[in-house]
Structure 1
Amino acid sequence: MNYQDFLKTKSKIQIHKGFSPFEMNKNLFPFQKFIVERNVSKAKYGVFADCGLGKTIMELETATQTVRKTNKKALILSPLVVVAQTKREAEKFDFDMDKVVMTNFENLHNINPNEFSSLIVDESSIMKNFEGKLKKQIFDYFRNTEYKFAFTATPSPNDPMEIGNHSEFLDYQTRLEMLATYFINDQDHTSKWRLKGHAVDKFYNAMSNWAIMLTKPQDIGFDMPGYDLSEINYQEFKIETDKLNNGLLFNDLAISATDFNGELRRTKKQRIEKAAELASKKTNHIVWVKHNEESSEVTKMIDGAIEVSGADRPEEKAEKLLAFANDEFRVLVTKSKIAQYGLNFQNCASQIFMSPDFSFESLYQSVRRSHRFGQKNRVDINLITTDTMQNVIETIKTKEEQFKIMQQLMIKNQNLWTKDIKQYGVTA
C-alpha cells in the first residue's frame, strides 16, 4: 500500500442517516432551505455561516424538522441573551414551538438529554477549548443524541483543536483521529498543529462531508441581491506612553501576552479619556473594554452610557443588551466575552475598542454585531492602542489573513450537491 492509499483509509469518516425534509417555513430564503436540507439529510452537521445570513431561522427550521420526524422534543442551546432574541424570531416567523425547547449554556445542568431527539448548539465555537468544562458537559450529555447540529460564524483560523471538536461533537472523526490524519505537530511549538502540505485540499474536502461554510449566498451557488456588506472603516488611535525607567533609550514596540494586562493598567487613564472623547458624538456607540475598573470609569465619563458587567445577574445582562438593540440608551459599555456572540446591533455604526488584545475571533465577532448583512451605514471601528502594543494589531492582521485563507479553501473544496441546488431555482 502506498502512502496515498494509506491516507485514504485514514480519512474515512462516519456516515449518519438523515431524512428528506418536510415542507419548510415560507420565510426561509432558497439558500437557507438548501442548508436546512443538508442538515436533516446528514443528521449531524455543522453550519459555518457568516453573521447576518440567518442562522437563527435555519436553527428554528432544523429543530422543527426533527420534531416532525421523531415526534420528540428538540433543544436549541445558546448564550442567554440570544435565547430571548431567538424566541422573538420564532414568533415573528410563526414557528410551531410546541416541542422546541430553548435554553442557555448556564442552564445545561438542568436538562435531561434523554428527552430530546435533536440538539442544536448555537455559537458552537464555545467548544473550542477541548478541555473546557462546558464542552465536556455537552459531549457527555448528548453523546447518544440522534440528530446534532452546530452553528457558528467563525471556527478559529489555524486552530485544528476547535475544528476537531466540531468533528467529534458531530460523531465523525475524533479530534485525535483528525489530527493524526491531516496535521503535523509544529516542532517549535508543542501545542501547535499545522496541516500537512499534501493534505490541505483533502482535509477541507473531508470537512465538507460534515460542514458547510459561506460568507454570502453566492459561495454556495445562490446569486441573491442584498447580501453586500456596507463600508467598514478601521481607525487606529495610538497613545504615546511615558518612558519606562528600564535603562533603554526607547520603550519596546511589542508587548508579550504576559505583560499585556500590566500595560493596560499603566495606560488606563489615557485610553479612557480617548474612548470618552470618541463616544461624545451624539450617535450610538459600543465601547468594548477588558478590565472591570476601566469599564466602570469610562461609563461614568460618557453621557448616556450603560455598563453591562460580569457582576450583573444573567437576566440583567439580557435586559440591558436588548434595551440597547431597541435604542433605549445611546452607549453600551461591556466586554467582548459578554456580548460578542449572536446579537444584532445594526442600530449602532460605531465601535470603540479600548483594549484590543491578541484574539482575532473576539475582535471579529464583536465587529460583526454591527457590521453585518442589513447594515446600511458605514461602520467605524476605532482601535485605541499604545506605542508599546503594535505587535497586537499585527497579530490580529495575521490571524485575519489565516481566517480568509481557511474560508477560501473550504468554499473551494465544498461538495455542493448540484442536483439539490437546482430544486431551489439555482443553475449550478
Structure 2
Amino acid sequence: MNAPTSYRQFLEAKMKVAPSTGFSVPLEEINPDLKPFTRAVVQWAAAGGCRGIFASFGLHKTSTQIELCRLLKVRAGGEALIVLPLGVRQEFFRDARLRFQGDFAVSLRFIQSEAELEAARADGGGHIYLTNYETIREGKLDPGQFTIACLDEASILRSFGSKTFQTFLPLFDKVRFRFVATATPSPNRFKEIIHYAGFLGIMDTGQALTRFFQRNSEKAGDLTLYPHKEHEFWMWVSTWAVFLQKPSDLGFSDEGYDLPPLTVRWHEVPVDLIGSTADRDGQMALIRPEAKGLSEEARERRAALPACIARMREIIAADPESHRILWHDLEDERRAIEAAVPGVRSVFGTQDLAEREDRIISFSDGGFPFLAAKPVMLGSGCNLQRHCHKAVFLGVGHKFNDFIQAVHRIQRFGQEHPVEIDIIYPESMRAARRDLEAKWARHEEMAARMSEIIRKHGLSLAGMAEVLQRSIGVQRIEASGEGWLVANNDCVEECRRMENDSVDLIVTSIPFSNHYEYTPTYDDFGHTDDDDHFFGQMDFLTPELLRILKPGRMACIHVKDRIMFGSVTGMGTPTVNPFHMTTTFHFRKHGFAYMGMVTIDTDVVRENNQTYRLGWTENAKDSSKMGFGSPEYLLVFRKLPTDRSRAYADEPVTKQKPHVEMLDGRIVEFDDKGRPIPGSGYSRARWQTDAHARWRSSGNRLLTADEIAQLDPSTIGKVFKQFSMETVYDYETHVRIGEQLDYRGVLPAIFMSLWPASTRPDVWHDVDRMRTLNTAQASAGRELHVCPLQFDIVDRCINRYTNPGELVFDPFGGLFTVPNRAVRMGRRGRAAELHHGYFLDGVKYLEALDRKKATPSLFDFLADGVAAPAEAAE
C-alpha cells in the first residue's frame, strides 16, 4: 500500500472498508435455480473473497455456500472445504440434489480424516468436501491445504469454549477465500463478531477491540462498545458481512418468506417456598430465595424436576400425535425425560458420533416422534421443521444464543405450520426468565438495526465508505481572552495556521497510541490501528511542532507506557509496551534533540487493581510473570538554536540567582544586589528538585462537568453550592451538569439536587435535604481522561523553561490545563482540542480565570470530607 501523500489522504485511509479480494462474477454465471436474493448475496460474497453471511433461519445459507465453492473453484482452482455442525450434512446433500443440476451440478464428499481426503482425491477429485467441527478441532484434518473454506453455523464454536473459539479460527489463516455463514449473532456477542472479522482477515482481533471498545480502567478485560462508535461499528461490519432477515432487505419480494406464527407459552411450576437449604455458615433461609448463579440454578432445576416432568407429560398428552423436540440442559433432566416419555430417543455427548448423527437425521425425516437433546449440542444448523413444529424446553437458562437457535430449528422460512414453544421453569428461577426475555428483545433490536443499514445502503461498499468519510474533519471554533487563545480543531490543522518560531514552550500529554479514542472523528489520534499507525499520524504533527517552536526552546512531552493484555497479544500474560521509548525515537527522527527524561511515580497498588497484572496472590503462585509498576514520564526535547557554538537559545530563558535569608521568621529570597525578590524566584533548592530525574506530582487538575456529575447526589449538592458561590454563575454549565446526571439516570425527580447557592444573607441555601439518602452515583457513559496532566508538572516546566510574558502551547489541550496554568504564572497560553465537550469545559475555566474567580479543581473538593470523583487512569 502506498504511503499517503497528504494529511487528508492519511485520514481517509483510516476508513475501515473491507478489502475485496475475490472475483467479479456476472449474474448469468450464477446458478439460476437459486432464489434471486441468494444469487445477489453470492455475487457480493464472491467479489469480496472473505465475507460473513449472517442470514436468518431458512434463507438458504446452505445453497449460498455450495455455489460460492463451485464458482471460486472454477476461477481460482484448488479445493473447497465446508465445516459443519453434527447432523447437518444431509441438508447439504439434499440441496445439492434439488438445486444443483446440469451445468451447475456439484459433487459433495464427506470426510473425517486426511486418509479419507486422500481416498477422495484418488477417485478423480473435483469434490466439495464436507467435514464436522470436531474433525478440525481434534487435528484430524488440516484446513490450511484448501483454497476455499466456509464455516457453516460458526456460532457453534462457542459451545466448545472461549479458548477453542480463539484457537480454532487461526487454523484457516493460509486459506485464500474464507466465509462464515450463520444466523444473526447474539447482541451480547460483540466479541464473536470481532473474531469472525479476524477469521476473515478483515481486521486483527486485538486491533478491532481497541478501535471500537472502551476498557474499564477499574477492571481489566471489561470492554463495552463506545457509544459514539456504535454506528460506525455496525457500518464497518456491513462492509464485510450481510445481515439478512428477509429478502426485502435487499429489495426482493418476500413472497413465500413469511415466518410461521410463533406461540410461546411459559409454564411456571410451583416449588416449596419454605427454606430448606443452608448457606455456608449453616444459616437456614426462612423463604426460598430466587436462584442466583449457575450452581444454584442447577440445584433448583433438579429440585423442581418431578414437577417439571409432570407438566411436560400434560403438554404431550394434550396432543400426543405431534412430533416434538424436548430441549434440556442437565443429564438428570435427560434421564428423567427418557423414563417419562415412551418412544423418545436422545442425543448426548458420550454417544458415538455416527449414532448421534443417525438419530438427528432420522428425526428430521419423521422416523420417530420425540427427540431429546441439549441446545448447546443440537441447536445450530439442523433443519428439523419438515415433520416437527412443536418443542418443549425443560428449564430456562441464560445462554440466549443456544435458546434462539433451538427455537429456529423449527421456526424457519418454509415451515408450513404455526410453531408452538412451551417453556417450563420453577418459580424460583423467575430471574433467569427475565434475563432471557431481555436478551431476546435486544436480539430483535440489533436485527432491526442491521436490516435498516442493509435496506439503506444495500451491498455497496462505496455507499458505506461515503457515510464513514463524513466523520473526517471538524468545524474550527476559536475562543480567546486575556493572555490565551484556544481552538476546537484538529491539532495538525491548527499548527499549520501558526507562524514559524512563534512558540516559546510546548507542554503536552500526547495520546497513548490507539489505547483510547475520545471523539468519533478520524482526526482523533487514538483512532489508529497500532503504534506504527499512530506515529504515522504524528509524522504530520511533529514537524509542525518543530517549525513553530523557537530555536533553542523546549518541548515537554508527557507519556506513559501501555499495559498490553495477554488475551489481545496472544502471549497469555500482561506485557508492557515501552511507549516512552518509541516516542523518544520519533521526536529525534524529526529533528528534536533529546535532553532527558523525568520519571513520575505512580501507585503500583492502584495499577494492579486496574490491570490485574501485579497481584500479590499471582506473585505467590509464580513470580516469574510479575513485572514492575508503570510510572509516567516527562520527555524533554529541544529545538537546536541557530548558533550552536555556545548552544544558548536564540532568546535565552534567564533566571535570577537568589540567596535565601530568614527575615521576621520568614524565608525570603534576595537577588544578587540584595533586593528581596517578589513572589517565587528560582532558588538553588528549586533547581536541584527540578533537575532531578524523579518527580512526584500532587495530581491536582481541573474538573469537568462530567466528573462533577459523577459525585454522590448528596455530595453534588454541596459541591455545586460551593462552586456556584465561588464562580460567576453560568446557566449553560448548570444545565450541562444536570443533563449529565439525567443521562446517567440519577437526576432526582422528586427533589432538586443542583441548587444554585446564594450570596445574600437573607437567603438560606444550606438546608440539607439529602442527609437521609444513600445513593451511589452511576458512572456509565462517562468520558475518561486516561492520564491527566497534573498542575504542578505543567508549572515546573513553565517556570523552568519560559520567561514571563512568553507563549506556551499544547496541541492536545484537553481541558486547557496548560494555557490555564500559563496565564496564572504570568505567561500567555494557546492550545488546540478536538473534543467539543472538553473544549467547552476548558473555555469556561479560562473565562472564569479572566473574571479572577476560583476554578474548581480536583483538590478543591477534598476539604470538609467532600469526596472527589474517581480519577480516570490508564
Cα separation, 1, equivalents of 2:127 and 2:359: 29
State the alpha-carbon separation in 2 of the partners of residues 9 and 404 from structure 1. 34
The reply on whether 1:245 has 2:276 as its aligned counterpart is yes
> Who is 1:104 aligned against?
132
Which residue does 1:185 correspond to in 2? 215
TM-superposition CA deviations, 1:310-334 (whole Å, max 9, x none): 2211111111111111111111111
> How far 1:400 moved relative to its partner?
1.4
* TM-aligned CA distance change 1:404 to 1:130, over 3 Å: same
Decide whether the 8 Å contact of 2:149 with 2:178 is kept in 1: yes
Q: In the superposition, relative to structure 1, how do residues 192 and 277 fare at CA in structure 2: closer, same or farther (>3 Å)?
A: farther
Partner Cα separation in structure 1 for residue 106 and residue 327 of structure 2: 37
CA contact (8 A) 1:337 1:362 kept: yes
Matched residue, 1:136: 167
Contact kept? 2:85, 2:156, Cα under 8 Å: no
Deviations 1:22-59 (A, max 9, x none): 61222211100010111110000000001011110111
**Structure 2 counterpart of 1:96, which letter?**
V
Partner of 1:259: 296
Distance 1:326 1:47 in 2: 27
Map 1:159-174 → 2, pairs under 5 A: 159-174=189-204
2:328 alignment counterpart? 289
Q: CA deviation at 1:251?
A: 2.2
Partner of 1:329: 368
- Report the CA distance between 1:231 and its aligned residue: 1.1
Pairwise CA distance, 1:135: 4.3
User: Take 2:334 and 2:357, find their aligned partners in 1: how far apart are those partners?
Assistant: 18
Paired positions, count: 416
Query: Which residue matches 1:411?
Result: 451
Q: Distance in 2 between matches of 1:45 and 1:149?
A: 5
CA distance in 2, matches of 1:315, 1:258: 32
Q: CA deviation at 1:10?
A: 5.1
Q: Distance in 2 between matches of 1:403 and 1:392?
A: 16
What is the identity, as a one-letter code, of the residue corresponding to 2:225? L
2:152 is matched with which residue: 122, 125, 129? 122
Paired position in structure 1 for 2:490:
none
1:18 aligns with 22
Deviations 1:126-168 (A, max 9, x none): 345884225413422x102110000110312132210110110
In structure 1, give the amino acid aligned to 2:31: N
The yes-or-no answer on 1:362 pairing with 2:402 is yes
- What is the deviation of 1:403? 1.5
Q: Deviations along 1:327-362, whole A, 9 cap, x unmatched?
A: 111111111122101111112121100022101111
- SS of 1:164 mapped into structure 2: helix
> Match of 1:104, as an amino acid?
N
CA contact (8 A) 1:276 1:298 kept: no
TM score, norm. by length of structure 2 = 0.46
Does the Cα contact within 8 Å between 2:302 and 2:332 map onto a contact in 1? no
Letter aligned with residue 390 of structure 2: S
Answer whether contact 1:217 1:223 (CA < 8 A) is retained.
yes
Shift of 1:254: 4.5
Which sections of structure 2, spanning at least 5 residues, go unmatched?
A: 1-7, 108-125, 278-283, 463-874
- Paired letter, 1:15: P
Aligned 8 A contact 1:127 1:166 in 2: no
The worse-fitting range, judged by mean Cα deviation, of 314-323 and 251-260 is: 251-260
Match of 1:110, SS state, is coil
2:433 maps to what in 1? 393
In the other structure, the counterpart of 1:298 is 337
Q: Secondary structure at the match of 1:194?
A: strand
Partner of 2:79: 73
1:376 aligns with 2:416: yes
Q: SS state of the match for residue 287, structure 2?
A: coil
Q: Which residue identity lines up with residue 30 of structure 1 in the other structure?
A: P
C-alpha contact 2:44 2:459 (8 A) present in aligned 1: no
Once the two structures are aligned, what percentage of the paired residues are identical?
A: 26
1:214-238 CA distance string (max 9 Å, x none): 1111112212301111111111111
Supply the distance in 1 between the matched residues of 2:266 and 2:232 (Cα, whole angstroms).
Answer: 39
Distance across 2 between alignment mates of 1:8 and 1:270: 63
Letter in 2 for 1:168: G
Counterpart Cα distance in 2 of 1:259 and 1:191? 26
- Partner of 1:329, secondary structure, is coil
- 2:51 touches 2:180 (CA, 8 Å); kept in 1? yes
Q: Rg larger in 1 or in 2?
A: 2
- SS in structure 1 opposite 2:336? helix
Counterpart CA distance in 2 for 1:177 and 1:130 is 22
Take 1:273 and 1:218, find their aligned partners in 2: how far apart are those partners? 44
Against the structure 1 CA distance between its residues 92 and 328, is the aligned structure 2 distance closer, same or farther, given a 3 Å change threshold? same
Per-residue deviation, residues 220-262 of structure 1 (Å, max 9, x unmatched): 2212301111111111111111122355443223432341111
In 1, the alpha carbon distance for the partners of 2:251 and 2:205 equals 30
Equivalent residue, structure 2, for 1:28? 34
Paired residue type of 1:326 = D
- TM-superposed deviation, 1:203: 0.8
Shift of 1:416: 1.2
Query: 1:303 offset after TM fit, Å?
Result: 2.4
1:130/1:341 Cα in 2 relative to 1: closer, same or farther (>3 Å)? closer
Find the aligned partners of 1:365 and 1:195 in 2 and give their Cα distance: 25
Cα drift, residue 307 of structure 1: 1.5
Greater mean alpha carbon deviation, residues 90-99 or residues 32-41: 90-99
Give the secondary structure class of the aligned counterpart of 1:389.
helix
Structure 2 residue identity aligned to 1:235: R
- The residue number in structure 2 matching 1:220 is 250
- Cα deviation, residue 85, structure 1: 2.3
- Contact 1:127–1:135 at 8 Å: present in 2 too? no
Q: Which amino acid aligns with 1:226?
A: G
- The one-letter amino acid paired with 1:12 is K
Deviation at 1:14, TM superposition (A): 5.2
Question: What is the CA–CA distance in structure 1 between the aligned matches of 2:144 and 2:190, rounded to whole Å?
Answer: 30
Give the drift of 1:388. Answer: 0.7
- The range that moved more, 73-82 or 216-225, is 216-225
8 A Cα contact 2:267 2:423, kept in partner: yes
Q: Which runs of 5 or more structure 1 residues have no equivalent in the other structure?
A: 421-428
Q: What is the alpha-carbon distance in structure 2 between the residues aligned to residue 162 and residue 327 of structure 1?
A: 34
8 Å Cα contact 1:305-1:332 kept in structure 2: yes
Partner in structure 2 of residue 345 of structure 1: 384
What is the aligned-residue RMSD (CA, Å)?
2.4
- The amino acid across from 1:155 in the alignment is P
The offset of 1:384, in angstroms, is 0.5
* Bigger mean CA offset, 281-290 vs 123-132: 123-132
The corresponding residue for 1:91 is 97
Bigger relative contact order, structure 1 or 2 (CA pairs below 8 A, ≥6 apart): 1
Note if contact 2:275-2:286 (Cα within 8 Å) is conserved in structure 1.
no
SS of the residue corresponding to residue 21 of structure 2 reads: coil
Distance 1:17 1:405 in 2: 32
Please state whether the residue corresponding to 1:64 is helix, strand or coil. helix
CA distance in 2, matches of 1:234, 1:5: 54
Matched, 1:308 2:347: yes
What is the aligned partner in structure 2 of residue 426 from structure 1? none
Q: Partner of 1:348: helix, strand, or coil?
A: coil
Partners of 1:13 and 1:176 in 2: CA distance: 18
SS in 1 for 2:147: strand
Q: Paired residue for 1:145, among 168, 175, 200?
A: 175
Q: Is the 8 A contact 1:289 1:334 kept in 2?
A: yes
Query: Contact between 1:119 and 1:148, CA under 8 Å: does it hold in 2?
Result: yes
Distance in 2 (CA, whole Å) between partners of 1:413 and 1:402 is 17
**Residue 171 of structure 1: how far off its partner (Å):** 0.4
Distance of aligned partners of 1:130 and 1:203 in 2 relative to their CA distance in 1, 3 Å threshold: farther
Alpha-carbon distance in 1 for matches of 2:10, 2:219: 27
Which amino acid in 1 is paired with 2:61? K
Partner amino acid, structure 2, of 1:86? F
